Amino acid sequence: MELINYINSLHNLNASGTNSLAESQVNSSYFKDIYHPFPIVESLKSIISKDQDAIIILTGHAGDGKSTIAFELLRELGKEEYPQEYQFKEHEYLEKNELNVLKDMSELSLEDRKSWLRKAFNSSGNWLIVSNTGPLLTSIASSLEKTNWTSNFKTHEIESKILEFLDKDIAIEDISNLKLDNVNSKEFYIVNIAKLNNIEVALNIFKNIINHPEWQQIIQKHPTHPISINYCTIKNHYQDVEESIRLTYLYLLNYEKRMTLRQMLAHLSVSLTAGMSLSNDDMPFKNSAETLLFSDTFFGYIGNRIWHKAKDLKAIDLVSRIHAGKYTGIEVESFITDESNFELVSEPLKSIIIEYIKNDKKSESHHEKAALRRILFMYGVNENKNTKSLFLGSTSIYKFNNWQINPDSFNNESRRVKRLCEKALNLFYSGSDDKDNINITLKRSDSSVFQIAQLMVCSIAKNSFRIDYDNQKQLPFIHLKKPKDSENVRLDLSLPLLDYIENIVIGDVTESLNPIYKAQLERFKLSLIDYAQDVDDDAITLVRMKSDESVNKLEIYFEQSGNHKIIRMEG
């Protein structure tokens, strides 16, 4: 039953975490069955296989999977040289591909980092250098001062060039956009793993854990153990559980903070076992009525209690901000209080739900309802998919998730999203809608006073805009069809921005927007003004807002009449 010990080693709830580091993971006997390859390995392998003089710097945050990618690449290219139990050294050399791999430059002193970088740029062969971003930036600029770039870079420009490439998005199938100008005749790539979305890698590893054959023995020998019961609730509803995890992580990625792969695996593993072993008598329960349930532990609860010990884990600290289990609407409340709605749910989850409903009917505090709402979200025991959107408080997240899984599905939504964007932009930029144009007016930055009349800055026809889906960034964007000077006047529609657009269009006046996204809307406004800068300086357009959100336009201009100027008005 060593599988449970391995799962517990992926988190540090009990100050173990022995396999949370890449070196321990790759040498574990469970690694081969549970590990899921990073898709980017194939692109790195392709570069090294076809070239004998490339330098690839693999950077990112601690826990993103950099070292694991390096080890996987070495094993892919040199299977015989690197068996499962092989202990990787600081520097590995694979003669077959003339490949040098520097395992973790972050662990070295500044002088040692500079020395290795100079050696890489001034010697033949392929190099893969792993480093956290901070140590890389402190050493790379000075290491490249005396190198020959294809382009004429000045010394002080090197670091800004590196920073520019650290911010580039990654297309996994083709990382040619991450290639800088050649240095000393060597191809030079900077791959910032922090730009990758590792949610799918984490989910695939979790799926491999759930499907591991050792679970059959565990269930047979410990059928009533809390871990066994928790496992069965996940296994019996796996598709919905996986979807709920993906939606939650996607929400956190867009609203809160990106998590590293290590943090996600720690979260999923501790949510499965609560840090217990099969022989552990010190269970985190206060009484026999409490149950170990994935829908609770995933959000930082044991039953109805806050799981304070787990709050030290970064992922649980983040998911706790969702306030999982709060009231979302009368439809959900009606569903979770009716036992007949759960007749087709498989055991053991069905008995847990029925017990919660019975206890809720006898309770004055009704804390059980919060647990039932979490169950409804995590296990998907009702058919209304809108329940999951309501639970996370994101009206667009379900569609946003589907677009990422199947980008072609966006085509069915593009016209609707375009109409919503056009209306929302008009409301944001002028406070009223116009069926034909997007208008930008001079108006108060706050909305404390409704301005009936406003001065028009510019107006752009709605048919000048297009909406498309960016497969690389995994989000839709609205842009002008034919921007001047080939500049792309574009607004990326992130999840928070889409939620804001959905809500503001239906008249939710309480809806607020993070200053980051407000700044994006303002930048887009400035680019539109710049695009439409050919205006008649002799004319002023006033816009009058009508009660039905439409507008009347009044053009005021001066007309010369002999020695006098006459004010004319049209509209």
Q: Estimate to the nearest angstrom the gap between the alpha carbon of 91 and the chain centroid.
A: 33
Check whether 22 has a pLDDT greater than 60. no
pLDDT for 503 equals 86
Architecture of domain 39-195: 3-Layer(aba) Sandwich (3.40)
pLDDT for the residue numbered 135:
81
**285 vs 500 pLDDT, higher one:** 500
**How many Å apart are CA 22 and CA 398, to the nearest integer?**
33
Provide the pLDDT confidence category of residue 492 given band limits of 50, 70 and 90. very high
Reported as a single tens digit per residue, the pLDDT across 82-139 is 777 778 888 888 888 899 999 888 888 888 888 888 888 888 889 999 988 888 877 8
pLDDT band for position 342 (cuts 50, 70, 90): very high
Judged by average pLDDT, the poorest of 196-210, 300-314, 411-425 is: 300-314
**Beta-strand pair 564-570/551-561:** antiparallel
Instruction: Please tell me the predicted confidence (pLDDT) of residue 348.
Output: 94
Residue type, 370: A
More confident residue, 26 or 393: 393
* Closest to 88 measured CA to CA, from 78, 99, 74, 98: 74
pLDDT of residue 411: 93
pLDDT in tens, 355-400: 999 988 887 777 889 999 999 999 988 878 788 998 998 999 999 9
Q: Rounded to an integer, what distance in angstroms lies between the CA atom of residue 160 and that of residue 143?
A: 14
pLDDT score at 156: 66
**Rounded distance between C-alpha atoms, residue 368 and residue 353, angstroms:** 10
How much is the pLDDT for 77?
87
Enumerate the H helices of 320-385 as residue ranges: 330-336, 349-362, 368-379
The ranges of the chain annotated as CATH 3.40.50 are 39-195
* Helices of type H across 452-563: 495-505, 515-531
Most trustworthy range by pLDDT among 15-24, 80-89, 190-199: 190-199
- Weakest mean pLDDT among 28-32, 113-117, 259-263, 519-523: 28-32
pLDDT at 457 over 90: no
pLDDT, position 236: 95
Q: What percent of the chain has pLDDT over 70?
A: 83
pLDDT of 545 higher than 90 = no
Q: Are 211 and 234 in contact (CB under 8 A)?
A: no
Please tell me the least confidently modeled range out of 144-153, 293-302, 384-393. Answer: 144-153
Tokens read off for 320: 């706790």
**Which has the closest alpha carbon to 371: 359, 386, 384?**
359
Q: What is the mean pLDDT of residues 295-301?
A: 94
pLDDT reading at 536 higher than 70 = no
Residue 448 has pLDDT above 60, yes or no: no
Query: Of 39-48, 244-253, 440-449, which gets the smallest average pLDDT?
Result: 440-449
Q: What is the rounded distance in angstroms from the CA atom of residue 410 to the CA atom of residue 354?
A: 39
Write down the pLDDT at residue 112: 87
Lowest mean pLDDT among 43-52, 225-234, 254-263: 43-52
Q: State the average pLDDT over residues 1-7.
A: 87
The dihedral through the CA atoms of 327, 332, 337, 343 has a sign that is negative
Judged by average pLDDT, the poorest of 17-21, 189-193, 488-492 is 17-21
pLDDT confidence of 452, banded at 50, 70, 90?
low
CA distance 399 to 405: 10
Q: What confidence score (pLDDT) does residue 286 get?
A: 61
Residue 293: its pLDDT value, please?
95
238-279 confidence digits (pLDDT tens): 999 999 999 999 999 998 788 999 999 999 999 999 988 888
Most confident among 39-53, 296-310, 545-559 (mean pLDDT): 296-310
What is the per-residue pLDDT for 52? 72
Which burial class, exposed, middle or buried, applies to 498 when counting CB atoms under 10 A from its CB (0-12, 13-18, 19+)? buried
Rama region for 400: left / alpha / beta (φ>0; ψ in -120 to 50; rest): alpha
Could you identify the residue written with the tokens 């000393």? 184
Q: What is the pLDDT of residue 548?
A: 61
26 pLDDT more than 70: no
The C-alpha atoms of residue 332 and residue 377 are separated, in whole angstroms, by: 10
What's the mean per-residue pLDDT of the chain? 83
Q: What is the pLDDT of residue 160?
A: 78
Which residues partner with 171 through β-bridges? none
At 486, is the pLDDT very low, low, confident or very high (cuts 50, 70, 90)? very low
